[in-house]
Structure 1
């Protein structure tokens, strides 16, 4: 019988530095100590809630990946119960060793234990391998999450407003055009 090298366990507070490294591209932009403090709160909350679980995968005794599992609804408008597998990440040196599959098995097992009929997850749009992996597990795209800084969205909204609503831009343009026309008409008789 073949011995599996991948094992799962619940995250402990001492895993926060490992998770900060693993999820560096997912966490809020802050210094590392603030990220670790955030993760300690997340780990504590997951430990205390029956609807959350933070799972760490180890490969041959070394931390190799993790996933945050949460019972929620499909969306704020679609109240279908769903288990979200948030940020199923595997360290690059442990990819293609069954770690990701084992993390997703944990998500399915959690959903089955809770009697939930759906599992949802996300992969970065730039992660070709991650998206292919999820597709092979029958996870299809449901929506596209788009994110931008608030100020950037505001600037684009203002730029796309009809000029009438941009502080009277159209009216100002009409006034200036009328003045130019008036100047031309006043200058024309002098030219003759």
Structure 2
């Protein structure tokens, strides 16, 4: 019987460098020291919270993947509990070796231990392996509930302003233009034939 080369452990602060590289697409845009501080804070929070677990997968002793598990409601409107499987990710050189399946098995075990009936996850649409990630999650019976869309507030404000109907934001301007036209019509001399 062969031993499995995949093992799981709780993340340690020393894993921050690996996690920043692994989750580069999902972290905020900031300088590396700030990202390291963010991830170190995630590790510390997961260590003290019974509702969170930050797990690192190792392949033959090397860090190969990770996942953050959090107990929360399915959505702010659907108050059923779910384990949020946040950024289940496997480093490129270690893909197709059972690491993703092991991380998801860990998520299921965490949900079972906590008595939580659902799992919820989102697969990045910007990563090169997003298609494979979506297929993997679908094979594990995770179906789409919605699409999470994110944009900077200033970008949404610019689009809202650009697409605003004249009567909504430019109502005063339109009123002024129409009043000026009425005044101009009244001021024209009447020509009778």
The normalised TM-score by structure 1 is 0.90
Q: Please state how far the C-alpha of 1:176 moved relative to its aligned partner.
A: 5.5
Question: What is the aligned partner in structure 2 of residue 137 from structure 1?
Answer: 140
Question: What is the aligned partner in structure 2 of residue 25 from structure 1?
Answer: 25
More helix, by proportion? 1
Q: Secondary structure in 2 aligned to 1:163?
A: coil
- Select 1:171's aligned residue among 172, 175, 181: 175
RMSD over equivalenced CA pairs, Å:
1.9
Instruction: Please list the CA deviations of residues 40-63 of structure 1 after superposition, one character each: whole Å capped at 9, or x if unmatched.
Output: 111001001111000000011100
Aligned residue-pair number: 187
Unaligned stretches of 5+ residues in structure 1: none
Question: What is the aligned partner in structure 2 of residue 73 from structure 1?
Answer: 73
Instruction: Tell me, in whole angstroms, the C-alpha distance in 1 between the residues paired with 2:84 and 2:37.
Output: 23
Instruction: Tell me, in whole angstroms, the C-alpha distance in 1 between the residues paired with 2:91 and 2:49.
Output: 27
Instruction: Tell me, in whole angstroms, the C-alpha distance in 2 between the residues paired with 1:77 and 1:173.
Output: 45
Q: Secondary structure in 2 aligned to 1:165?
A: coil
Q: Is the 8 A contact 1:164 1:171 kept in 2?
A: no
Instruction: Please list the CA deviations of residues 107-126 of structure 1 after superposition, one character each: whole Å capped at 9, or x if unmatched.
Output: 00000111111111110124
Instruction: Tell me, in whole angstroms, the C-alpha distance in 2 between the residues paired with 1:86 and 1:7.
Output: 19
Question: What is the aligned partner in structure 1 of residue 114 from structure 2?
Answer: 114
Q: Secondary structure in 2 aligned to 1:66?
A: strand
Instruction: Tell me, in whole angstroms, the C-alpha distance in 1 between the residues paired with 2:176 and 2:167.
Output: 9
Q: Please state how far the C-alpha of 1:169 moved relative to its aligned partner.
A: 3.2
Question: What is the aligned partner in structure 1 of residue 44 from structure 2?
Answer: 44
Q: Secondary structure in 2 aligned to 1:164?
A: coil
* 1:181–1:54 distance in 2 versus 1, CA, 3 Å: same
Q: Please state how far the C-alpha of 1:177 moved relative to its aligned partner.
A: 4.8
Deviates more, 1:154-163 or 1:121-130: 154-163
Instruction: Tell me, in whole angstroms, the C-alpha distance in 2 between the residues paired with 1:178 and 1:40.
Output: 67
Is 1:151 matched up with 2:181?
no
Question: What is the aligned partner in structure 1 of residue 86 from structure 2?
Answer: 86
Instruction: Tell me, in whole angstroms, the C-alpha distance in 2 between the residues paired with 1:81 and 1:108.
Output: 13
Q: Please state how far the C-alpha of 1:178 moved relative to its aligned partner.
A: 4.7
Q: Is the 8 A contact 1:59 1:94 kept in 2?
A: yes
Q: Is the 8 A contact 1:83 1:120 kept in 2?
A: yes
Deviates more, 1:122-131 or 1:97-106: 122-131
Unaligned stretches of 5+ residues in structure 2: none
